Chains A and B, each alone.
Chain A
Amino acid sequence: MNAPDTSAKRWDNLARNRAARLARAERLASGCIVPSEQIVQLLEAVIEPGDRVCIEGNNQKQADFLARSLIKTDPSRLRDLHLVQSVLALPEHIDLIERGQVSRIDFSFSGPQAARLARLVESRKITIGAIHTYLELFARYFVDLTPRVALIAAQAADREGNLYTGPNTEDTPAIVEATAFKGGIVIAQVNEIVDKLPRVDIPADWVDFVVRAPTPHYIEPLFTRDPAQITEIQVLMGMIAIKGLYAEYGIKRLNHGIGFDTAAIELLLPTYAADLGLKGKICTHWALNPHPTLIPAIEAGFVESVHSFGSEVGMERYTAARSDIFFTGADGSMRSNRAFCQAAGHYACDLFIGSTLQIDLQGNSSTATKGRIAGFGGAPNMGADARGRRHASPAWLRAGREGRGDIAMPRGQKLVVQIVETFREHMEPAFVERLDAWDLAATANMELPPVMIYGEDMTHIITEEGIANLLLCRTPQEREQAIRGVAGYTPVGMARDPRMVENLRDRGIIRRPEDMGIRKSDATRDLLAARSVKDLVYASGGLYDPPRQFRNW
């Protein structure tokens, strides 16, 4: 038999292409260091038309200098780019599309640019591959959306190109791993170049070029909620969550969304929950960014462990000083990792709770509104049952028993909770017959309406009217009435069948505050462990250093 002829087929095209790109860039760098004034030429040298490009950024840190530099490149040379990145949050991301340099995008979140993006999609200036969750997009980096060029952000580099990403490590490891090990090019913007890094987060041989940005990369303090803005209704809903859910199921491992509703829960732990004797019994292990509003609970000894997606501006000294709680390196500073924390939130947590804008009668919830393509971020990974989960916990087993009834094979379920006031500001109802997501999908030619949490994953809804336990509903009609039954005086709530709702209440599917022994009039802000940002600073022993916009001192 003849040996197969392999001479015609080359197997190192990526490596040779990479070498050609590096050769074009050689004159621009000394070692791996590129002067900031050469950055536009560097980008033009290493990026080719049609490349998949990832500009690092999340809702926290941003490779903003590299994004600004990319829109200075020659559009006739750098064109047909395919952006594959977590967020389209900077104006420059959208500018690139408007300049005609980008033809396709795959992303997760575009909150700040949602309206501009929707206009571009409607005028067919851009094709969206898909809107992913963060974990889903990272997964595709390793399958069919591997970046050719990654533009990343780090706190510091040494002269060899080792990077320190520190508390805001975030997405960097996932992006660099996929790019560097598939023949791609990695360019890092850093705030400073130093002789010795505190620790190495990304090794130098995964990084091709380092540029010192003229200004430090931007970080948004997205997870700071000023306790002064928490309302009595949010306190009431927090009491309902703690007494009616966390205590009932014995929730120890959990993730909280961003928002004042969940901030209220965090601030009620050292007061209301402690008075209920729940310390050590609930909320011990978290997949959570270092929320400043968690400080009082940590100081009260409620919390044993917190792993974080990213960091939070001003929490650096506090997290470093609480290394028993947070994941910290040998140098003492925290390390976050979005991919791992998303996995932790999906598989290792018994409960996710977050807020939303709209919930329909099947329990689907969405933050999509007409004329805005905002995407998902990471919430759907937290807010979904982990079908692959194989380890048990009391909370998970109880939810499984409630949801699956008496089936032969024991199996648990994650608790996925939405916490909303029945009316948002301007008397916008949070409960609707039909999600705006349908209209958005139609106008933006999306294959799927952008649903944040599917009804089949949602287990409980908390409003100021009480809790609806959707696990216990046995028919679609019961489910609908359970949702109407906590929808208050919204049109959806007013259209309830009062007899059926009372029946659901008798069966414990709907529980009112009084059914749980919660007196509404006890819901005052005096229950909050901190009522201002300054209270948080005092609670931290002066370690928390809030950003300027949150200070009044």
Chain B
Amino acid sequence: MSDAAPLPVRRDPSHGYLGGVCSGFANRVGIDPILIRIGFIAAVALGGVAIPLYALGWVLIPAEGPEKPAVQRLLTRSDTWLVAAGMGCLVASGLLLLRAWGFWFVSDQFLWPLVIAAAGGALIWRQSQTAPERVTSRARLPRQTVNRATAGAALVVGGALIFLYVNDALAPARDVVLPVLVMLVAFTIILAPWWIRLVRGLNDERAARIRSQERAEVAAHLHDSVLQTLALVQKRADDPREVAALARRQERELRAWLNGTRNDQNSLAGALEAAAEEVEADHHVPIEVVTVGDAPLEEPAAALVAAAREALVNASKFAGPEPISLYAEVADGRVEVFVRDRGPGFDVESVSHDRRGVRDSIVGRMERHGGRATVHSTPGHGTEVELVIEP
């Protein structure tokens, strides 16, 4: 459909409370959903006809974006207490509505127990739906979580008790319950200290386990990387260049691990960094990479990385052991890369046209992708390859 066509009405479950019908309409008309909701509630109060209309809307209007079941969404909202209260109100209103319509086949005594139990159930359910990684990432459950679950359980049990009480089902049970309760209290007093110690011990044990897991992870990483490199360094102790290259590679790798920034292969800066790392590993000449700004690695940029890599290889082969500088700058869509070495340099004019490396893989490649490459060099002053892509 074209952009000019009027927007169709779409339900918006991600911003709604139930089916997102109201917020969908609000989106379409372009006003605050709360106004629609107030109108909706007013319509409910006037005759209840809005409820079937809402249901109809829910069924017939397609949803915009992902839709979770309304109940689940309601139960996984972050404001837990509101959820409990809301669930209670919802059940109450539902029951009252049923009563008003005459579908009421039990006595009014059931109303409040059901409401209370629903609110408690919502609390417990909400707690159990907390994303699992959020729970496990904490050494122990936060007090608030426990409190909510307890309050929820109390509400549910309370609802059940009231239900039983209003139905006179408790009278025979009282004789049994009282002795049991007394015995329970006695046992609690006896066992509480032991139980508390057990819980503390478990917590300590869990914390220790987490610590040792972290240590194992670090150890595994050091083993794979640093110890391997150190072993190689000892074996190659007679080759200083090799040792220096090993140390540099390890340094890069460890740094990336510590900073939590593995080279992002989908960005220009990450790709240049990776290319430098590879060339350095192959040719043992240190490469200092400096990047300013970044861009996604799309076609002209990818060609530029390949050309830069070729320039790095050339510099590593012909320019001696002095460090090579790689500088990349991205600004307003313009990408510039400079590869500079401190080698002997050469006279650009006098180089015969049969030097395929530079001609094809650098200059040609850049030109094919709408960029340009220039080689600046003076004998005795090193070489600099300039790669540019204009926006």
Q: Do A and B make up one complex?
A: no
